[in-house]
Amino acid sequence: MERILELINGKKYSEAREELLKLNSVDIATLLEEVDNKKSMLVLFRLLPKDIEIDVFSYMSNDMQQYIIQSITHEEMTTIIDQLYFDDVIDLLEEMPANIVKKILLNTDEKKRKLINQFLKYEEDSAGSIMTIEFVDLKKEMTVEQAIERIRKIGVDKQTINTCYVIDRNRKLEGIISIRRLILSNKDVLIKDIMKENYVSINTFDDQEYVASQFKKYDLVSMPVVDKEHRLVGIITIDDIVDIIDQENTEDFHKMAAMEPSEEEYLKTGVFELAKHRIIWLLVLMISATFTGNIIRKSEDVLESVVILASFIPMLMDTGGNSGSQSSTLVIRGLALGEIKLKDIFKVMWKEFRVSVVVGIVLSVVNFLRVYFIEKVSFMVSMTVCISLFFTVVLAKVVGGILPIVAKKLKLDPAIMASPLITTIVDAVALLIYFGIAKILLGI
């Protein structure tokens, strides 16, 4: 790839084109993204054969697609839009500024424009917004021979022909049939006799995260999308689901780090945009952390009586926060994968309690040996610290386990109950436990 970049930078476009054509479309798109001079990139893009050009365009980033659309002629743009798969066109329009969308729609024929406008009305992140209309439909009265002939006739422009969909005259979905089943069946057999009627389908308004879970559950590569009247309106393919899983995981990571989710790449996102995504949750956590400060301030008499207690506060708070984060991470992942249901809250609570008791005992014993024998702290202070540590770990793990489930029950994203928020809650409660036990054991 370095040689191709050298050829492009040296404006040896013909040689670069020959080298590019040895690569697949994904690698060509990646390489063109690395070209520093956008004009050189555009020249080379235009030199690609039309069929490869369309493929390469679909794999490029939104920024690069926008630059190309703004730079090419109306005729070139019309060619690209006409050749792109329909769901890729919708994805493109959803990411483009209004002026680019207007330009694209003006260069689209009326029939396709109406269809595009209809798809753009579906809620973002719904099944309707990610489906494609490029599928093969059949009638149950057809023979296998007629069905195969229809696939040959219209299949070339469809996104997938691995599975065909059987509909009636009102477009209601009646069954599905694989291309494998068609090929292996006798040519005179009727479709209704070999189609699969116990299929899995989703509705246009189903959330894309639910759609992804259905793909995983039933091990599918495509799935029909129906409306309220059970009419077939589109299909969703596995390539879109892979993108959704990646997007959902990224969102969860952002939320677990107390940030607003962002779809832009890190290096392409502006400083103020990044700050905006981070500052809201940081403000919330900062304000909530004042409770911890208030607890310390109200317990100054305890700290003044036994000053050494203050040195163990960071250890208690960190251990509690880390313990809660471990539990919340596992439960959040379990909820996302469907392994944990809302009804399992008491099972989770009981399991986390037992785990926390084991972990708490081990940590407390190790900590007692360290504090009493190595740091030579008095027996009662060592006991105070270690008993507080035990109860902090138990509380943190139980709270970390149930809070994501509670969030899901309240229709909130469980990821927001991840480490930052749980740490803030546990910090405050850990201090209450610590100072309470200190007053009892040390007689303060």
**Tens of pLDDT, residues 407-432:** 888 888 787 666 677 888 888 999 99
Query: Are 24 and 89 part of one and the same domain?
Result: yes
pTM over 0.75: no
Q: For residue 316, with 0-12 CB atoms within 10 Å meaning exposed, 13-18 middle and 19 or more buried, which class applies?
A: buried
Amino acid occupying residue 269: T
Residue ending a domain, choose from 210, 244, 278? 244
Partners of 234 in the β-ladder: 225
pLDDT category at 397 given cuts 50, 70, 90 is very high
Q: Is the pLDDT of residue 43 over 80?
A: yes
Q: Is residue 280 part of a domain?
A: no
- Per the domain annotation, does 259 fall within a domain? no
Give the end of a domain, one of 99, 125, 151. 125
Q: Where are the beta strands (DSSP E) in 180-332?
A: 202-203, 222-226, 232-237
Count Cβ atoms below 10 Å from residue 223 Cβ, excluding itself.
Answer: 23
Q: Write the burial class of residue 32 (CB in 10 Å: 0-12 exposed, 13-18 middle, 19+ buried).
A: buried
**Do 81 and 89 form a contact (C-beta atoms < 8 A)?**
yes
Question: β-strands 163-167, 137-138: how paired?
Answer: parallel
pLDDT at 349: 96
Are 73 and 180 in the same domain?
A: no
193, 138 contact by CB (below 8 A): no
CB 100 within 8 A of CB 69: yes
For residues 332 and 308, state if they share a domain: yes
The amino acid at residue 252 is: D
User: What is the chain's alpha carbon radius of gyration, rounded to the nearest angstrom?
Assistant: 30
Report the distance separating Cα 220 and Cα 222, nearest Å.
6
pLDDT of residue 336: 80
Residues 316 and 395 placed together within one structural domain of the fold:
yes
- Are the CB atoms for 249 and 374 separated by under 8 Å? no
- The answer on 155 and 113 residing in a single domain is no
pLDDT in tens, 232-260: 999 999 999 998 888 877 777 777 666 77
How confident is the model at residue 418, as a pLDDT? 62
CATH number of the domain within which 356 lies: 1.10.357.20
Beta strand extents in 128-237 (DSSP E only): 137-138, 163-167, 173-178, 202-203, 222-226, 232-237
> Average of pLDDT values for 78-86?
87
Domain membership of residue 183 as a residue range: 137-244
Residues 30, 170: one domain? Answer: no
The one-character DSSP state at 203 is E
Question: Percentage of residues in the chain with pLDDT exceeding 90?
Answer: 51
User: Would you give the DSSP letter of residue 373?
Assistant: I
**Pair 61, 28 in one domain:** yes
How many domains are there within the chain?
3
